[in-house]
Amino acid sequence: MNTKLPVPERLLAVAGDLFAREGYDAVSVRQITSRAKANLGAVTYHFGSKEALFHAVIDRMGTPFADRFVAIAAERGTPLDRITRIVTMVLTERNLPAPAMILRELATDRPLPPPLMQLMQRNLAAVAGLVREGQADGSIRAGDPSLLALSVMAQPFLMRIASRIPRDIAGVDRTDMETQRRLVKHVVTTIIRSLAS
């Protein structure tokens, strides 16, 4: 750990790595502070609690991705073109924020952490807005925009968050660039056909 970094940065980096690999419940404040080379009270001093640090980690990891997501929705082009670009970005983004951590959170009985919920709601609202825009211009079929947006995001989200399913169950090797290209084309085609009027 680079001890030249400010303590809050070290805590965020270490906690992000530990939460992503082991999950919120399995990580102790002692583990975080020990690896961050900070005193035991540093989490409370800088963040208030382990939970607040967890929320800061989610925000730090997820906000740049959500910003790119929403920026694509605001670009020029037809609603279906922009949905295509969003789905492609979700499927090909190299730095997807901590898929294992997100999947663990979705699998727990506790409510989603507010920062994760806000980021997911922000992304869903962007797609629902594109669906409404497409319905208004006649390019997207009738239906509840929020439900259609959920359908749009479910397939690429599953492919990324549960990436072992395509690899281990279906034998889809996403590290092969040609296979990755075919997968993206397949998912985009399926989604666009399900939306088009």
Residue-range domains of the chain with CATH: 1-48 (1.10.10.60), 56-195 (1.10.357.10)
Q: What is the pLDDT of residues 139-180, one digit of tens each?
A: 999 999 999 999 999 988 887 776 677 777 777 777 778 888
SS3 state at 140: strand
Please give the residue that has the higher pLDDT: either 89 or 159.
Answer: 89
Q: Kindly state the average pLDDT of the residues 39-51.
A: 97
Confidence of residue 97 (pLDDT cuts 50, 70, 90): low
Q: What is the pLDDT of residues 123-138, one digit of tens each?
A: 999 999 999 999 999 9
Q: What average pLDDT does the structure give for the chain?
A: 91
C-alpha span between 151 and 145 (Å, rounded): 10
Percent of the chain, pLDDT > 90? 67
SS3 state at 105: helix
C-alpha span between 95 and 35 (Å, rounded): 23
Instruction: Indicate whether 17 pLDDT > 70.
Output: yes
C-alpha span between 41 and 105 (Å, rounded): 26
C-alpha dihedral (177, 179, 180, 186), degrees to nearest 10 = 150
Q: What integer pLDDT is reported at residue 67 of this predicted model?
A: 94
C-alpha span between 69 and 177 (Å, rounded): 23
Q: What integer pLDDT is reported at residue 135 of this predicted model?
A: 98
Q: What integer pLDDT is reported at residue 108 of this predicted model?
A: 84
Q: Which segment of 2-11, 24-33, 156-165 scores lowest on mean pLDDT?
A: 156-165
Residue 26: Cβ within 10 Å count: 11
Global pTM reads 0.86
Q: What integer pLDDT is reported at residue 1 of this predicted model?
A: 65
Q: Kindly state the average pLDDT of the residues 180-187.
A: 90
C-alpha span between 128 and 150 (Å, rounded): 8
Q: Which segment of 20-24, 95-99, 173-177 scores lowest on mean pLDDT?
A: 95-99
